Amino acid sequence: MERTDNLNIKCFRPLITPEKLKQEFPQTEEAAHLVASSRKIIENILTNKDKRRLVITGPCSLHDREATLEYAGRLNKLQMELSGKVLLVMRAYFEKPRTTLGWKGMLYDPHLDGSYDLEFGLRQSRSILSEIARIGLPVATEILEPIIPQYLCDLISWAAIGARTSESQIHRQMASGLSMPIGFKNATDGNLSVALDAIKAAASPHSFLGIDRDGKVIVAETKGNKYGHLVMRGGTGGPNFGSEFVAFAEVLLQKANIDNGIIIDCSHANSHKDHKRQKDALYDVADQIRSGSTVISGVMLESFIKEGRQSIGSVGQLKYGVSLTDSCISWEETEELVRNFAGAINA
């Protein structure tokens, strides 16, 4: 009989199950408490029960374990100082959606050489999450592949659905079953309605295909996630962090009966993809909060130890603490911006 399936599949490789990975890198009691309490704080900030604000900051994507943990240690010290004003959540992005081609992130290509050692990528990702939890920081990530939550999400306090996937039915269904607050980014053209529709869809129950902890294909039946919220990241028409855009978004949220607040992404189109302009967005948002805005729940920054970005090139020649994907602001500027933002908050 002539074959008609798997014609473009080169090979199938077995993958470690979520349960086995969790046995190798178990969630400690301290990590479980950190994640649960951080999620509750984020929920309360989004619903304005907690007057603090979120600052979600870190590298565009992770690629270097040592530099990642150094950054986490610095951020944790800053958190201890500013805990009365902000909750600092570290970006730990392991998956990178690509418009065409490019490095897909540590989870997919942890050796940075196109070998796609996904099993090592999962181990490395969970190991880093465990270490950041041990340091004492809550973690944020973007979820791209729908089976990944079973491997990592018990260690995640906040998650994003990206601008390219907010319109995806699969990701909306997945978000309806996730255990943490979910930020939906506006579309790449700046359209907010896509994200608002996603928030409403994810708040409802769904049934969809997935895997369980033993790697078995199952039908997941969800309750719905009531902490979906809007992340404004600008679009092809330009930034949307200004007060007039925030006011417009607030009206749309009210009409849609969405009570959760807004996160402003200071990077991407809100900085014209220029890391040096993230401060313009953050200072503007801080002024809005000083002026009494309560709908803004926090901000996002792309930040690492050193400023800028680098290409993968030769692995042995990479600069320490410099981003591989989008350009980031330096630690020194990060500290300055976070302090400025915290100063705007009367918690």
**84 close to 347: Cβ distance less than 8 angstroms:** yes
At 223 the pLDDT is: 98
- As for how many domains the chain has, the answer is 1
At 97 the pLDDT is: 74
Global confidence as pTM: 0.96
For residue 158, tell me if it sits in a domain. Answer: yes
Distance of alpha carbon 262 from alpha carbon 159, whole angstroms? 14
What is the number of other CB atoms lying within 10 angstroms of the CB of residue 76?
15
- Two structure tokens written together for 64: 């270097």
**159 close to 206: Cβ distance less than 8 angstroms:** no
For residue 138, tell me if it sits in a domain. Answer: yes
**256 close to 239: Cβ distance less than 8 angstroms:** no
> What pLDDT tens digit does each residue of the chain (347 aa) get?
988 998 999 999 999 999 999 999 999 999 999 999 999 999 999 999 999 999 999 999 999 999 999 999 999 999 999 999 999 999 999 998 766 678 899 999 999 999 999 999 999 999 999 999 999 999 999 999 999 999 999 999 999 999 999 999 999 999 999 999 999 999 999 999 999 999 999 999 999 999 999 999 999 999 999 999 999 999 999 999 999 999 999 999 999 999 999 999 999 999 999 999 999 999 999 999 999 999 999 999 999 999 999 988 755 689 999 999 999 999 999 999 999 999 999 85
CATH code of the domain containing 72: 3.20.20.70
Distance of alpha carbon 194 from alpha carbon 198, whole angstroms? 6
**234 close to 190: Cβ distance less than 8 angstroms:** yes
Secondary structure letter of residue 317 according to DSSP: G
For residue 289, tell me if it sits in a domain. Answer: yes
Domain that holds residue 285: 18-46+53-343
For residue 8, tell me if it sits in a domain. Answer: no
**142 close to 93: Cβ distance less than 8 angstroms:** yes
Rounded to 5 degrees, φ, ψ at 158 are -145, 145
For residue 11, tell me if it sits in a domain. Answer: no
**SS3 (DSSP) at 124:** helix
At 100 the pLDDT is: 64
